[in-house]
Amino acid sequence: MYGIIFDIQNYAIYDGPGIRTLIFLLGCPLKCKWCQNPESQQLQPQMSYFEEKCVGCCNCAATCPNNALSLINGRIIRNTSLCKTCGACISACPNGVMEKIGENRELDELVEILLMDKPFFDNSGGGITISGGEPTMQINFLFELLKTLKNKGIHTAIETCGYFNENLIDKLVKYVDLFLFDIKLMDSEKHKQFTDVLNEKILTNFSKILYKVGNERIIPRIPLIPGVNTDLITIQQIITFLHGIDYKGIIHLMPYNKLTKTKYEKVGMGDIHKDFGDLTDEDLNKITKLFEQHSYQVIINH
């Protein structure tokens, strides 16, 4: 069985307990306007192009076996209908302009690589966190990976947007030790405006998982996006929701990172990149204090 992986990061300390290895799977059902990993949205490998490093030598175009590349007005243009993401252009480029995002990884091979970090997991109480994209977009691979890791005695966590079929919940809670679960907005129409989907399914899934696993195995993570959800009225709405379902655990606050423009440009999405500005320390402190006033422990993940 194969999964489409676009990154593996070692020695992570902010995505679950202990020292962890992060695996990033391609594909996401949301299109968040502030997405920190726009290269993860598509559910298949793609090529990226770092225009600022290109000198126009055209080696890539000459090498491409599918004639998918051409130089137009000093820029390399890719015909996506012809590109097969074979990667021939990568080795042809002298400046490292081209990069392939995503590759098929066989399950057993991937697990073998991940288990190389097991001594760190064992000594720190860590494990493996599966992120994306949205991990449930590759649900069959996700289940097999989780099952294999659990059989190896590895602590498992997933970072999820929560937008998946609720029929998956029973199987997920069997193999996932910790859910890191995004909650962005309570207003469903506003949620759709900024993510392309309504939020009812997300909130229902959070509630059902909480009911099944309790406060210790699910953590709401709130991306703080200036002008979208950082006003205290919106934060209070989130607190009211959490109180209403009797959530009493930890809160993760995730301040917006504005340094993502290059990521968008490299995958041809530069025209839709939006800079939401800076989250001030004053606003972050107010949000933190509001949660703490309602007896929540807050962890800020920059």
Convert the pLDDT of each residue in 276-302 to its tens digit.
999 999 999 999 999 999 999 999 997
Can you list the positions of beta strands (E) in the chain? 2-12, 20-25, 46-49, 69-72, 75-78, 98-101, 103-106, 127-131, 155-160, 178-182, 218-224, 250-255, 297-300
Task: Collapse the DSSP code of 13 into the 3-class scheme (helix H, G, I; strand E, B; otherwise coil) and give the result.
Answer: coil
Lowest mean pLDDT among 147-156, 197-206, 266-275: 266-275
Q: What is the pLDDT of residue 268?
A: 81
Residue 264 has pLDDT above 90, yes or no: no
- Which domains, from first to last, does the chain contain? 2-42+103-300 (3.20.20.70), 46-100 (3.30.70.20)
Q: With 90 as the cut, is the pLDDT of residue 263 above it?
A: no
Given a cut of 90, whether residue 90 has pLDDT beyond it is yes
Task: Give residue-wise pLDDT tens across range 160-195.
Answer: 999 999 999 999 999 999 999 999 999 999 999 999
Tens digits of residue pLDDT in 12-66: 999 999 999 999 999 999 999 999 999 999 999 998 888 888 988 999 999 999 9
pLDDT at residue 20, as a whole number: 98
Q: Considering the entire predicted model, what is its pTM?
A: 0.94
